Amino acid sequence: MNLLRCAGPFALALLWGVAFAHGQEKSPALQLSYETPHWLIISGDHLPGEKIRINYLEAYCRAGSTDADWVKHTVIPHRPELLEVSADGSLVRLRDRLEDGVIVDHTIRSTDDEISFAISAKNPTDERSEAHWAQPCIRLGAFTGFSDGGSNLDDYLPKGFVFIDGELTRFPQVVPWAKEARYIPGQVWCPTSVPRTDVNPRPLSPLVPTYGLIGCYSADERMVFGVAFEPYQELFQGVARCLHSDFRLGGLKPGESKQIRGKIYLIRGDGDDLLKRYLRDFPEHGNR
């Protein structure tokens, strides 16, 4: 007997409702939004603190920056433009126009436990661009269990880590911890592929990170955050309870285009789980 023919109006409505629901894609657990002038917001009911704010982007930077004035020398002014935000929170598209004419397009997508970045930079001018790297500044105070207020901006440090000699090393155990630079405090880790003269003018660690991955644990240690870009300029622990994997542009010749990709991970698990995901997505980092 035909089941639909026997069903009453109410049962038919339920059946069609179920069929319609199955035909719709559910919104990702991590939601994206954007606030002017330059804030990318990651939201999720399951996130400690519920939101992670990213100064996206804090700055585009010139080379020769390690011992240079940040404002007078390093920063290249840019103007961000919001192109699209999807209704389900799964997509944000942005365009940055640099003062020297470079155009950088950002396609940012969310899933249940990660954010992906596809970045395209092009120089349509007749002059070489001095844009060598850029800073997404990821604020992690609430995620690690610390408020945005208070004078002790190092209070979240025990939650953070980088990989030294292949091992996850929490910040208090990263020894030596550099303390002298043009601007203090903070900590920079520079890969061997980047000149040590071209990074953030904060204390520069003598240690070279094994991977282009920096992260931290949530307040209850049940979730782990990580961020990585390819190519990357530096890893950085900043003074806004922030962590950076700053991506590399390396300057752009007239007419040249470059592609950058990145990931933010927000997963339930530990550092080993994070490292496996990262090495799957960035196999070239593990081969270095």
Sequence ranges of the domains in the chain: 27-286
Distances (CA, A) of 177 to 159, 209, 272: 16, 13, 24
Question: pTM for the full model?
Answer: 0.90
CATH architecture of 27-286: Distorted Sandwich (2.70)
Q: Which two tokens stand for residue 32?
A: 């994206």
Answer for the pair 101, 124: CB distance below 8 angstroms, yes or no: yes
Q: Is 99 left (phi over 0), alpha (psi -120 to 50) or beta?
A: alpha
Closest CA to 139 of 63, 55, 197, 208: 55
CA distances from 160 to 117, 233, 274 (A): 22, 19, 13
Please give the chain's pLDDT, 288 residues, in tens.
444 444 454 444 444 444 334 445 678 999 999 999 999 999 999 999 999 999 999 999 999 999 999 999 999 999 999 999 999 999 999 999 999 999 999 999 999 999 999 999 999 999 999 999 999 999 999 999 997 677 788 999 999 999 999 999 999 899 999 999 999 999 999 999 999 999 999 999 999 999 999 999 999 999 999 999 999 999 999 999 999 999 999 999 999 999 999 999 999 999 999 999 999 999 999 866
Q: Which residues, including other chains, have CB under 8 Å from residue 232's CB and lie 6 or more apart?
A: 191, 212, 245, 246, 247, 248
Q: Which amino acid is at 260?
A: I
